[in-house]
Structure 1
């Protein structure tokens, strides 16, 4: 529900809400139609009476909306007693919403909240073939941002915190495949790792600690920490991390940020798992 609105329990009888943040009223017919669609997706048997009772909309209005949805191809009428059935066209209503959208919907407010608390810039990254790509960053909110933007920046799977956090906690077979992809490309950041032993050691340390840290020779001035968003063992959907200046952030603050990162990651993973 948008901020600044007053929740109504009876969709059919109460007047349209007026948002404190805008100068126009909600369109009540749209609200009723969406409520009926949501209700139809919950019901085992879609009938006029069941929807009317659940949504608080008069049966005559329910019939008109259901018949319109049938005409548009979202529902089909079974029989007078059998009620209605959803068609595959309802899937088109969520065609533009995918797992990455869900991840950002859950994690963006988390990242912003962490920056408001600690001031340092936090970011969310997801895997894109052979690199971790920053999907969202709170740099605009941070007074301590080290660059103007990292949005859509591709980071190494081998030397960067987001990459190590992903690689350390993803499935072993996926890790081996990603490592082969990384070795096949010519990415300057990957050359920071001088041996397979060094990388494997970084992975072991990451798994033991529960978080990843950027390899020290990647950047002498800043450091990054990242944790995985794992919705199941071996299934990492994203990483969330923070970047700070090495000589500015105090060890006590870094420790607090790590606690917050791990806690928020666990909550976010559960939220994403329930909604996928």
Structure 2
């Protein structure tokens, strides 16, 4: 049972930042230009066409409150660009497969950030500590959104796109504890290939599996203590179905200033938000 984890044959606050590398939540509200009405109308036509069984000029005009002549020009332009086909006078128009290209850049990570961002921000406003959401990328968890710009107790300027170990970090342990055993086996092999120094604090298969069992029992993961002597992190998984983890959300705080009772409160809040996020993601999948 003894031996370094790399031998496993089986799965086993700084001052408030004034300038950060992350976008301020209020920055998107600043605008120096007016809406482009033609773009708004074109998007309305596209959205309407995706809802209709029979796409006709009159139906779109009625639903979007756009004059028929304008609808015709928009549809004919979209036909010329390959997004629509004109079937016939009675048959109206039909969408082509090219419309799928309009959502090609919108991946599950984008959906997850869209759903969890309000919760992450709300948690920071309530508890002051920085919260974050992370998703799996190859052999590590990667922070996709962080509320550091909102936190007066942030320990660093930015964690956006930071990679966290699947073996020793809270986000990684939360993911590994609740994903399927088959996925865990494969991910562990990938994680061990990184040969990170911090992962060596887990010296045996038994020790790491014990950490996973404790995570499942508690319902949240805690960063293994020696990974960072000054701060600690908690994380919980967003599970859409048994064994299917889509992301994790967590919080980082200074060890010496947070009491055990406060940790329990934040862990409960994280679990509640993760459950709500899972419900929202299931409705959108």
Superposed, 1:15-164 pairs within 5 Å as 22=31, 24-164=33-173
In structure 1, how many angstroms separate the alpha carbons of the residues matched to 2:117 and 2:198? 27
Q: Are the structure 2 counterparts of residues 149 and 23 from structure 1 closer, same or farther at C-alpha, using a change threshold of 3 Å?
A: closer
Aligned to 2:10: none
Which secondary structure does the structure 2 equivalent of 1:247 belong to? helix
Q: Distance in 2 between matches of 1:245 and 1:194?
A: 25
Structure 1 distance, partners of 2:32, 2:113, is 29
Q: How far apart, in 2, do the equivalents of 1:145 and 1:86 lie? A: 48
* Cα distance, 1:197 vs structure 2: 0.8
Decide which moves more: 134-143 or 194-203: 134-143
Name structure 1 gaps, 5 residues minimum.
Answer: 1-19
What is the alpha-carbon distance in structure 2 between the residues aligned to residue 85 and residue 208 of structure 1? 53
Say which is worse superposed, 142-151 or 27-36, in terms of deviation: 142-151
TM-score (normalised: structure 1)? 0.87
Counterpart check, 1:247 vs 2:252 = no
Q: 2:141 aligns to what SS in structure 1? A: strand
Which residue number in structure 2 is paired with residue 12 of structure 1? none
The CA distance in 2 between the partners of 1:24 and 1:245, in whole Å, is: 43
Deviant stretches of 4+, over 4 Å = 20-24
The number of residues matched between the two structures is 259
Moved more, 134-143 or 175-184: 134-143
Mapped partners of 2:192, 2:70: distance in 1: 62
Match of 2:275 in 1: 266
In the TM superposition, 1:207-222 aligns within 5 A as 207-222=216-231
Q: What displacement does 1:200 show?
A: 0.9
Structure 2 counterpart of 1:167: 176
What's the RMSD between the two structures over aligned residues?
A: 2.0
**CA deviation vs aligned residue, 1:112-138 (integer Å, no higher than 9, x gap):** 221111111111111121111222222
Question: Which one scores higher on RCO, CA 8 angstroms, separation ≥ 6?
Answer: 2
Q: Which ranges of structure 2 fall in alignment gaps of 5 or more residues?
A: 1-28
